[in-house]
Structure 1
Amino acid sequence: MRPVGVGAPLSVDIEEKTFNSAEGVTIAALSNLSFEVRPGEFACLLGPSGCGKTTTLRILLGLDRDFAGSFSLPEGGADRVAAVFQEPTLLPWRTVEQNIRLALPKERRNADLEWLFSSLGLGSMRTLFPGELSVGLARRVAIARAFATEPAMLFLDEPFVSLDEATAERLRYMLLSVWSSRPTTVLMVTHNLREAIMLSDRIVVLSPRPAHVRGIFDIKLPRQYRNPQIMSDLLRSFHVRFPDVN
């Protein structure tokens, strides 16, 4: 299947991003941050807590315009961007299915989403309300809502944080299943190295604040071959290049 985001890459060139602390001190969050994500690629931004990963996503989503530099989204991305945040932000008075379909334009509200409900194991939960869902199930709904829009660019901000490892692992596989069915350009923020190696084609490794790119770790091996032994080998290779990143 041809990736939705085919065409130009996601191109980021942020010269500087600063903000003022509550004490009035100017803090540099990003400095000379430049990287690309190729069309149809799943990339991860990996870096220590507080280094500026979420700040970068906010800029790319247009939520923060106070920065020096520029970026360009993949072809069609300006009008077809989706995001999944750490909090699912579901409407509590709407059912699972209603929350997902509300993200669609009116002319597509009745679109066939059977493949999506099935891939994420939500088929029997359509009529439930967010208050009846576990945190893991609510995250699935947020992922479904994002993919339902058929985005040209998808941003993920640590969507599995705070979940127990077994639940997080199931959701990672579900995410890969949905993305493989409807491939698009993805940039995901994480501080979990193993997660990044499992999911991504490219890992963009960031420095501590102010964030800049320390290096790029490309993974050419298809995901179906990333068994435990291969994962260990990839982790070793990563640590040869970035020995201080865990």
Structure 2
Amino acid sequence: MLEVDIASKTYPAVGGPPLLAIEGLRFSVPDGTFACLVGPSGCGKTTCLRILLGLERDFDGRTVLPGGNPRIGVAFQEPRLLPWRTVEENVRLALPKAMRARPLHDLFARLGLDGFENFYPGALSLGLARRAALARAFAVEPGLLLLDEPFVSLDEATAQDLRALLLDVWQARPTTALMVTHNLREAAQLADRIIVLSQRPGQVRGEHLIAVDRTRRTPEAVNAICAEVSARFPGLL
């Protein structure tokens, strides 16, 4: 399983004391589970993902990735597509050399990108660019999927469509997933478990396991999950 045990992560500051971003952040995510990290701004959620990606190496603690050295699919807050490459070229760039020739039509069709493979990012709406970023994350057939608020700044209708597409692709091949979000309703809709972080320095306040099957997560059921989480963790919203 995915294991995170970050004793501390500190950022240096110019002209002031160092910033302690994380202290005693410990949790695990079982294989094939979709987990969401929820907490206030600045509590270390994105820093945690950066540590898992190996982008932040100066920290005290340890992490264990599922399978030891899995392929990692990642989608950031911004799509980060190369503007001089087409949608398909952007997705294929993320593939290991041995997978570069694999067919992608089914994945593109599932994400609503059929017909947009040869478009450049500048011709895409933000919603389509986010779909391309998800396609890039899933194309590698990841053993670990990391998502950093991939639907932030979208209007709710577009975000809702993309959540449904994300679940559709993920459920076709469930993999260990960890998603950062400020949106409790989003977490209640997507996750098997919600990991709630404290104010900075970030540590785990607790976890909430969601027993409601995703096929029964109606708007009313999602409201009930949010109410239960909010009652357990006062001040979360």
1:201 and 2:178 matched: no
User: Where does residue 210 of structure 1 map in the other structure?
Assistant: 201
**Equivalent runs, 1:120-135 vs 2, <5 Å:** 120-135=111-126
How far is 1:193 from its partner?
A: 0.5
Match of 1:108 in 2: 99
Quick one: which of 4, 7, 20 aligns to 1:12?
A: 4
Does the residue aligned with 2:5 lie in a helix, a strand or coil?
Answer: strand
Once the 2 structures are TM-superposed, how far is the Cα of residue 19 of structure 1 from its aligned partner?
1.0
Structure 1 runs (4+) deviating above 4 angstroms are none
State the Cα distance separating 1:105 from its structure 2 match.
2.0
Q: Does 1:65 align with 2:68?
A: no
Q: How many residues are paired up?
A: 237
d(CA) in 2 for partners of 1:239, 1:65: 34
Using the TM superposition, give the Cα deviation of residue 176 of structure 1 relative to its aligned residue in structure 2, in angstroms. Answer: 0.5
Query: Following TM superposition, by how much is the alpha carbon of 1:206 offset from its aligned partner in structure 2, in angstroms?
Result: 0.1
CA–CA distance in 1 between the matches of 2:149 and 2:77?
Answer: 6
* CA displacement at 1:79 relative to structure 2: 3.9
- Equivalent AA in structure 1 for residue 186 of structure 2: E
Deviation at 1:106, TM superposition (A): 2.4
* Alignment-derived partner of residue 30 in structure 1: 22
Q: Equivalents in 2 of 1:130, 1:20: separation in Å?
A: 36
User: Could you tell me how far 1:243 is from its partner in structure 2?
Assistant: 2.5
> In structure 2, what is the Cα distance between the partners aligned to 1:29 and 1:237?
28
Query: Matches of 2:174 and 2:84 in 1, distance apart?
Result: 31
| 2:148 aligned to which of 144, 148, 157 | 157
Q: Among residues 78, 86, 95, which one is paired with 2:86 in the alignment? A: 95
Matched AA of 1:53: K
> Gaps (5+ residues) in structure 2?
none
Structure 2 distance, partners of 1:106, 1:73, is 22
1:227 aligned residue: 218
Identity of aligned residues (%): 57
Q: Which residue of 1 aligns with 2:75?
A: 84
Q: Aligned partners of 1:17, 1:166: CA distance in 2, in Å?
A: 37
Q: Does 1:168 align with 2:159?
A: yes
2:81–2:133 CA contact under 8 A, matched in 1: yes
CA RMSD of aligned residues (A): 1.0
1:39 paired residue number: 31
- Return the alpha-carbon distance in structure 2 between the equivalents of residues 52 and 140 of structure 1: 26
Structure 1 residue 107: deviation in Å? 2.5
Give the conservation status (yes or no) of the 8 Å contact 2:43–2:198: yes
Task: Compute the displacement of 1:57 (Å).
Answer: 0.7
- 1: distance between equivalents of 2:139 and 2:224? 35
Match of 1:245 in 2: 236
* Letter paired with 1:68: D
Q: Does 1:53 align with 2:45?
A: yes
State the alpha-carbon separation in 2 of the partners of residues 134 and 229 from structure 1. 31
Distance 1:144 1:45 in 2: 22
Equivalent position SS for 1:125: coil
Report deviation, 1:22.
2.7
Normalising by structure 1, we get a TM-score of 0.94
Distance 1:221 1:110 in 2: 39
Deviations 1:102-140 (A, max 9, x none): 211222222122221111000111110001011111111
